[in-house]
Amino acid sequence: MAEFYGLRVNGTNREVVDAQLGESLLFVLRERLGLLGTKGACEQGECGSCSVLLDGELVCACLVLAAAQSGREIITIEGVSPSGVSTDVQQAFVEAGAVQCGFCTPGLVMAAHSLLERVPNPTDTEIREELSGNICRCTGYGRLIQAVADVARVRLSNGVSRD
Amino acid sequence: MAVSVPTSLAEAVSLLSGAPDSVVLAGGTDLMVEANSGHRQIASVIAIDRVPELRTWGVDVVRRNLWIGSGVPYSTVMQPGIASLVPALAQASRTVGSPQIRHVGTIGGNLGTCSPAGDTLPVLAALDARVHLASVSGERSVGFDEFMVGVKRTSRRPDELITGVTIPILNGWQGYSKVGVRNAMVIATASSCLAVDTDGRSVRIGLGSVGPVIIRCGEAEQWISGRVDWSELSVSNADVDEFGLRCGAAARPIDDHRSTAAYRRRAVEVLAARQLRRAFPNG
């Protein structure tokens, strides 16, 4: 049965038309709304490459039933910096060499933003645990963890933490 | 519209009664895996994640019970509010998937799927939790041992919604341990919840992933409860070892793609003995 519903994505109301009932938010974002920043890989919640914020919480878009999300605020990687200027997290990833093939990067950037919003000064263990749902097959994680720690340090020294 | 998003418990129960073939969607972390792989066609969905009554938790001081609504996510169970009352449940919740999974996955979803590897289930079994169900014809509650009847099989009727669990608050050590191939993001190869009731002078243990249902080791529990020195809160090394063996004997593991029966039984022996020693550090 074809479905018709609205989603609020990155602050904009979007219409989803001719969708199938069981479609995941990941599928709808990429294939119906053309937002290709969110990546799909495992489609079973194991890899984290489809991480987005749903009402402010980090979730795997592949495990979210899109048709049940009307009225919720969805933020994708395209929405973390509406101006198009890199966020401090994105810049830190570049500077730390935390981006190699880049496939996991959008999900990890979302996870890093989510962590630093809640925990402005995370320990190494907290960073590792919070990023445990995002698989990277290139970096070996050292540079990723370094990038997140760098952002926390700079934010705290600049007093720009939003907490 | 084949997706319903009720915003009250009465509405959710009424919808389910009118369409008992509907899939009840909580966090989606089990259901959507099946949908994505094409193993499950979804015709009609009742999404219950916006039913406020299901997202509450609280303490009944008189009955010394904790109520947790079925829609409470693992990330909430891990917080100090619930963790200070039932630490084993918080520990089990922390081992579920990743932060992304724990934000949306719920206690009710763990019960609804009712896999023998469900991380919170050995805790609910060991603590003698009761599962609460509601339908248009009324509410009822069943003990966990009556709720889980097989691999992913429960005594819930199709028109019934899982509304939550009540968990007795005990004085005494409790913990959840899990064996898997790595620390994060792993399904249990074998798991164990041991809980001590100091007031009732009993030790309980529930085992996961080593049988078609969660296994309570009744014989081993009775035996060790009689061997503990309750005034000193101590237990001998020999009794710790024997308890591990008796729990291993109670397990009913199988060989499958994740492990072997022999490994699982040995894992239970180690987990049970280790948890008992943690509960009673003095020999």
pLDDT per residue as tens digits for the range B233-269 = 999 999 999 999 999 999 999 999 999 999 999 999 9
Long-range contacts formed by A81-87: CB under 8 A, 24+ apart: A82/A10, A82/A11, A87/A113
**DSSP secondary structure string, A120-153?**
SS--HHHHHHHTTT---SSS-SHHHHHHHHHHHH
Q: Are residues B103 and B51 in the same domain?
A: yes
Of B42, B43, B103, the CB nearest to A59: B103
Q: Are residues B15 and B115 in the same domain?
A: yes
Q: Are residues B128 and B75 in the same domain?
A: yes
Q: Which domains are delineated in chain A?
A: 3-79 (3.10.20.30), 88-158 (1.10.150.120)
How near does any CA of chain A get to the CA of B125, in Å? Answer: 27
Asked if B36's CB is within 8 angstroms of A62's CB, the reply is yes
Q: Please name the residue that has the structure tokens 């009664």.
A: B17
Last residue within a domain, chosen from B128, B153, B168: B168
**Closest chain A residue to B182 measured between Cα atoms?**
A132
Q: Are residues B242 and B257 in the same domain?
A: yes
Q: Are residues B102 and B136 in the same domain?
A: yes
- Give the pLDDT confidence score for residue A4 in this predicted structure: 87
Q: Are residues B130 and B197 in the same domain?
A: no
Residues 6+ apart with CB under 8 A from B241: B273
- Model confidence over A115-153: pLDDT tens digits? 999 999 999 999 999 999 999 999 999 999 999 999 999
Q: Are residues B146 and B200 in the same domain?
A: no
**Amino acid letter at A126?**
E
A133 touches chain B (CB under 8 A): yes
A19 touches chain B (CB under 8 A): no
Contact A103, A41 (CB under 8 A): yes
Residue-range definition of the domain harbouring residue B182: 174-279
- Give the pLDDT confidence score for residue A1 in this predicted structure: 53
Q: Are residues B41 and B180 in the same domain?
A: no
Q: Are residues B50 and B140 in the same domain?
A: yes
Residues of chain B under the 50 pLDDT cut: 1
Q: Are residues B218 and B270 in the same domain?
A: yes
Is residue A155 scored above 90 in pLDDT?
yes
A130 touches chain B (CB under 8 A): yes
User: Residue B73 sits in a domain of what CATH number?
Assistant: 3.30.465.10
The answer to whether ipTM exceeds 0.90 is yes
Q: How confident is the model at residue A2 (pLDDT cuts 50, 70, 90)?
A: low
**DSSP secondary structure string, A64-101?**
SBGGG-TT-EEE-GGGS-TTSSPPHHHHHHHHHT--SS
Strands B138-143 and B190-197, by their bridges, are: unpaired
Q: Count other Cβ atoms within 10 Å, centred on residue A100.
A: 14
Last residue within a domain, chosen from B108, B140, B168: B168
- Give the pLDDT confidence score for residue A163 in this predicted structure: 45
Last residue within a domain, chosen from B117, B149, B168: B168
Q: Are residues B109 and B192 in the same domain?
A: no
B49 contacts in A (CB within 8 Å)?
68
User: Residue B274 sits in a domain of what CATH number?
Assistant: 3.30.390.50
Q: Are residues B150 and B195 in the same domain?
A: no
Which tokens belong to B52?
């406020």
Of A1, A43, A114, the CB nearest to B36: A43
**DSSP secondary structure string, B195-251?**
EEETTTTEEEEEEESSSSSPEE-HHHHHHHHHHSBTTTTB--HHHHHHHHHHHHHH-
- Give the pLDDT confidence score for residue B35 in this predicted structure: 93
Give me the number of domains chain B comprises. Answer: 2
Which tokens belong to A15?
């219409």
- Model confidence over A18-51: pLDDT tens digits? 899 899 999 999 999 999 999 999 999 999 999 9
Residues 6+ apart with CB under 8 A from B79: B90
Q: Please name the residue that has the structure tokens 């919003």.
A: A117
